[in-house]
Structure 1
Amino acid sequence: MFDYDAELVRHHERLFETLDIRPGDHVLDIGCGTGRTTRDAARAASRGTALGIDVSGPMLAQARRQTETEGLRNVDFVHADAQGHAFPPEHFNLGISRFGTMFFSDPAAAFTNIGRALRPGARFVQLVWQAGERQEWHAAIRAALSGGHAPTRSPGAAEAAFTLADREVVVGLLAEAGFTAVDVVDVREPVYYGPDADHASAAVLQLWAAKELVTDLDAASTERALDRLRATLDAHDTGDGIWFDSRAWLVIARRR
C-alpha cells in the first residue's frame, strides 16, 4: 500500500498548523485513508472525538490497527462514501480533509451532506491539488513512464485528483452547499517518495496513475519506461530523499 502519510508529510504539517484543534472538539475527517489525520486530530481533541470516513476498506483496516496500537479511545472510523452517508446532523464542530474531497461523483451533493454534519459556525478545512500541470510530481513521472508520448488509454482516475483545481469552482461549490467566509490559500510544499531511487520507484509503481501508463506496454517498452523513471527519480534526489515540487489549495470555510 502506498504511504501517503510519508508523501504528504509537509502538507500534513501545514494542515495542522491551520486547524487549531481544541481539546473538546468533535472532528470529522473526510477521506481519512489510513487514519493519520484522524488520529492526530483525536490526540489534539483529547476530551472530544474524531471520526474518519473513507471508501477504502484496506486503508481503514490499517487505520483501525494503528489506532489500537496507539491506544487511542476517542477515534472511530466508518467505511462509507461521505457524499451520501447519514452523519448525525450538526454534530461536528470541525471538518477536515487532506486531499480526500476531489473524488466525489457529485461534489455539490457531497459538500452539502458534509455541511449538514457540521454545527452552525463550524469550520471546514481541506487541502486539494491545484491543476496537474502545476504538479512537478505528476508531470515528471508521467513524462518518464510515457516517454513523452500521450498515453494510449484515457487518463481516467489519474485526473480525478485535480477536479477541485479551479479555486473559483471550489468557492462556488462551498457557497452553494451552505458555507461562507471561504478563503483559498496557495500552498507550495514538496512531496516525498522515499529515501532513494529504489524505494521511490517501488512506491511510484503502487500508484494507480503510474500503473495506467505501463499497463498496455510490452516487456521491452516497460523496461525502457522504468529506466526513464529511475533516471527521473535520481535527478530529484536531494541527498535527503526523493522530493518533487507540488502546488495545493488550502481551503478554509465556515458553516453558515
Structure 2
Amino acid sequence: MNDTMNDAMTLEIDPRNAGQLREWDGAHGLYWAEQADAYDAAYAHYQPALLAAAAVRPGERILDVGCGSGQVAIDLVRATPHSIALGVDLSSAQLEVGRARAVGLDVEFLQADAQVHDFGAASYDLVVSRTGTMFFSDQAMAFANLARCTKPGGRLTILVWRGVGENEWFREFFEAVRVGRDLSGPPPGTPGPFSQSDPAVVEPLLHGAGWTDVVFAPADEPIWFGADSDKATSFILGQLAWLLADLDEAKLREATDNLHAVMAAHESHVGVELSSAAWLITARR
C-alpha cells in the first residue's frame, strides 16, 4: 500500500469535494485522529448491529468508505477468517491511525475520494460505511461508482443519521453553541450529516445508481461523549472548534458554559450519553 505522501501525490478528487478534502485532511481530520478512541467509544452502541448487517463471509473482500481510523474494517476482518479490507478516507491523519491499528491484519488504507476513485470493476463483495457516505457532493455519482466496484450479488451496508428532530445530541449541542447566531444546517440535497435521512430520497437514488433490494432499518442508540461532563465538554469543544472560531471571548465562554450544562444534564454512572437515531441501510448489487 502507498504511504501517505504517495497517496497525496496521486490523489484524484472531484473538484466539488475540495472543501471536504481541506476539512478532513486539515485540522478537523487531525482532531478526529487524535481522538480516535473517543470517537469509536461514542459509536460503540451501533457497532454490533452494523457488523451483523454486514454479514461478512470467509474470504470476502471489503471496501470501507469514509473509514476514518479504521475500526469497522478492522473489526470485520478480525471476526471473519480470510477476509481482506481496504479502508478509504480523505483524512491522511486518520488513515495513519488505522495503519498502526491494523498491523498483522489483512487491512490496507488509502487516501481516496470514493466518488471518483477507480477501485476496479466488480472487485468487492461488500461496501460498508459508518456515517461516512453523507458528505459526497454528488451522491448519485458516488453510489454508482461504488456499485461498479461491487461484484454481482455483492452488498452495501451503511449507517447514516435520521433527521435532526430525532437526534437529541445534534439539536442540543448546536443550540448550546448558537449564542444568538443563525446556525441553520445545509439546505436539502447538499452534503451534510442529514443528507441521507429521507428514505423517499435515498431509495430511488440508490436504485438509480445500480443497487437493488434497498432496506431501511431504524437504529436508535445513545452516543457516549465522555466519562463525565468536563471530559465530554472538552471533547465536543474540540470537534466544534470550526464553529466557535469567530466568537469573541464572552460569547465563547457563554457557548462553553451552555455546552457544559447540556453535558451535566445527561451525566450518569456510565458517563455522558445523549440519544441518537440512525438508518441502517442495506442493498444488493
TM-score scaled by structure 1? 0.92
Stretches of 4+ moved more than 3 A in 1?
Answer: 153-159
* Partner deviation per Cα, 1:113-148 (whole Å, 9 max, x = no partner): 00011000111010001112221000111111124x
**Structure 1 stretches of 5 or more lacking a match?**
none
Q: Distance in 2 between matches of 1:154 and 1:48?
A: 43
Q: Give 1:213 deviation, angstroms.
A: 3.7
For the pair 1:114 / 2:146, whether they are aligned, the reply is: yes
Q: Distance in 2 between matches of 1:91 and 1:104?
A: 21
Q: Distance in 1 between matches of 2:117 and 2:243?
A: 33
Aligned length: 248
Give the root-mean-square deviation of aligned CA atoms.
Answer: 1.8
Specify the SS of the correspondent of 1:245: strand
Question: Is the CA contact 1:42–1:50 (under 8 Å) kept in the aligned structure 2?
Answer: yes
Which residue of 2 is the match for residue 195 of structure 1?
227
Matches within 5 A, 1:6-17: 6-17=41-52
Which residue of 2 is the match for residue 100 of structure 1?
132
Q: Give 1:242 deviation, angstroms.
A: 0.5
Q: Give 1:238 deviation, angstroms.
A: 2.1
Matches within 5 A, 1:26-105: 26-68=61-103, 71-72=104-105, 74-105=106-137
Identity, in percent, stands at 38
Question: Is the CA contact 1:22–1:44 (under 8 Å) kept in the aligned structure 2?
Answer: no
Q: Distance in 1 between matches of 2:95 and 2:170?
A: 26
Q: Distance in 2 between matches of 1:173 and 1:156?
A: 19
Which residue of 1 is the match for residue 195 of structure 2?
163
Matches within 5 A, 1:129-144: 129-144=161-176
Question: Is the CA contact 1:53–1:79 (under 8 Å) kept in the aligned structure 2?
Answer: yes
Moved more, 77-86 or 218-227: 218-227
Moved more, 153-162 or 24-33: 153-162
The amino acid of 2:128's aligned partner reads I
Q: Distance in 1 between matches of 2:138 and 2:132?
A: 14
The amino acid of 1:233's aligned partner reads M
Q: Give 1:155 deviation, angstroms.
A: 4.3
**Structure 2 stretches of 5 or more lacking a match?**
1-30
Moved more, 111-120 or 133-142: 133-142
For the pair 1:126 / 2:126, whether they are aligned, the reply is: no
The amino acid of 1:211's aligned partner reads A
TM-score scaled by structure 2? 0.83
